[in-house]
Amino acid sequence: MFALPDVLSETLALLDARIARGGVERGHVLDVRVLSERTALGEDEVRALLEGGVAPPVDRIDDRVRGRVRALHEAYAGRSGKRTGEVCKEVAERLSISPEWARQLLLGKKMPNVPDLTELAEFFGIEEGTRFFTDPAATVLNRELHRVLRTLEGESEEEGPLVEFATRHGVVTLALRGRPLSLTRRKQDALAVMLEGLLGVDEEEPGR
* Pair 70, 114 in one domain: yes
64 vs 151, which has greater pLDDT?
64
Position 162 confidence tier, pLDDT thresholds 50, 70, 90: low
Does the pLDDT value for residue 203 go beyond 60? no
* Residue 151 belongs to some domain of the structure: yes
Split into its structural domains, the chain has a count of 2
Does the pLDDT value for residue 151 go beyond 90? no
Does the pLDDT value for residue 179 go beyond 50? no
Boundary-marking domain end, from 77, 103, 134? 134
Q: State the pLDDT at residue 135.
A: 93
Q: What is the mean pLDDT of residues 64-84?
A: 94
* Pair 41, 141 in one domain: yes
- Any residues with CB less than 8 A from the CB of 3 and at least 6 apart, and which? none
* Pair 87, 140 in one domain: no
DSSP letter (8 states) at residue 54: S
* Residue 128 belongs to some domain of the structure: yes
Q: What is the mean pLDDT of residues 29-48?
A: 93
Q: State the pLDDT at residue 51.
A: 86
Position 21 confidence tier, pLDDT thresholds 50, 70, 90: confident
* Pair 199, 151 in one domain: yes
Domain that holds residue 89: 61-134
* Pair 82, 120 in one domain: yes
Domain with residue 71: its CATH number is 1.10.260
Does the pLDDT value for residue 12 go beyond 50? yes
Q: Cβ distance 106 to 87 under 8 Å?
A: yes
Does the pLDDT value for residue 138 go beyond 70? yes
* Pair 157, 170 in one domain: yes
**pLDDT per residue as tens digits for the range 96-129:** 999 999 999 999 999 999 999 999 999 999 989 9
* Pair 150, 192 in one domain: yes
* Pair 82, 41 in one domain: no
* Residue 1 belongs to some domain of the structure: no
Q: State the pLDDT at residue 165.
A: 57
Backbone phi, psi, residue 100, to 5°: -70, -40
Mean pLDDT of the chain: 80
Does the pLDDT value for residue 169 go beyond 70? no
Position 182 confidence tier, pLDDT thresholds 50, 70, 90: very low
Q: State the pLDDT at residue 153.
A: 78
Boundary-marking domain end, from 106, 134, 162? 134
- Any residues with CB less than 8 A from the CB of 118 and at least 6 apart, and which? 129, 130
* Pair 128, 65 in one domain: yes
* Other CB atoms within 10 Å distance of the CB of residue 84: 14
* Pair 105, 203 in one domain: no
Q: Cβ distance 121 to 114 under 8 Å?
A: no
* Pair 118, 151 in one domain: no
Q: State the pLDDT at residue 85.
A: 94
pTM: 0.69
Boundary-marking domain end, from 82, 105, 134? 134
87 vs 180, which has greater pLDDT?
87
